[in-house]
Amino acid sequence: MSNTVVFCSADEIELMVRRFESCDFAKGEFTHALHLAVAAWYSFKYSDEEALTRMRSGLLRLTNKFGVKAYHETITQFWMRMSRDFLASERSGSSLAAAVNRFVEVFAAKDLVHQYYSRELLQSELAKSNWVEPDLKPISTAVSGSM
């Protein structure tokens, strides 16, 4: 799949989430866009805590499958918070697929995190293993500033 993804239905998103949960992706196939779609699905379907737990465990399984130590707690929580806030701001008339597609489109640039965090902070062991607050600007400006 390319970095651009468009879902036609909630069923398509759910199928992709099931692939994520079963680690049914080849190395490099799980793009930023798919990561965002999973985050949005979990944020829509579950409480904040459950959504984060599911995302964290899925990412740990996937990185373990590929033998890489790429899991980053702060970045994971950043995108989960972005998805939650974005979905909360979407009009209730939008279908889930339309909301997820819009979220993926609006936040397609994965380096957006650097508008909120300095590279130094994100590269720290503390940020990799624990949630840390942004040091450049608060996340609360993210969704309202992107619309």
Per-residue pLDDT, averaged over 11-19, amounts to: 96
Q: What is the pLDDT of residue 92?
A: 65
Q: What is the pLDDT of residue 49?
A: 96
pLDDT tens digits along 57-115? 999 999 999 998 889 999 999 999 999 999 988 866 678 999 999 999 999 998 999 99
In a domain, 120, yes or no: no
pTM (2 d.p.): 0.89
What total number of domains does the chain contain? 1
What is the domain range of residue 28?
10-110
Query: What is the residue-wise DSSP string for the chain?
Result: --S----SSHHHHHHHHHHHHTT---TTTS-HHHHHHHHHHHHHHS-HHHHHHHHHHHHHHHHHHTT-----HHHHHHHHHHHHHHHHHS-TTS-HHHHHHHHHHHT--GGGGGGTS-HHHHTSHHHHHS----SSS-THHHHHHH-
In a domain, 102, yes or no: yes
In a domain, 137, yes or no: no
In a domain, 2, yes or no: no
In a domain, 106, yes or no: yes
In a domain, 92, yes or no: yes
Q: Which of 9-13, 32-36, 103-107, 137-141 has the lowest mean pLDDT?
A: 137-141
Q: What is the pLDDT of residue 144?
A: 47
Average model confidence (pLDDT) for the chain? 90
In a domain, 15, yes or no: yes
The residue ranking higher by pLDDT, 29 or 146, is: 29
In a domain, 3, yes or no: no
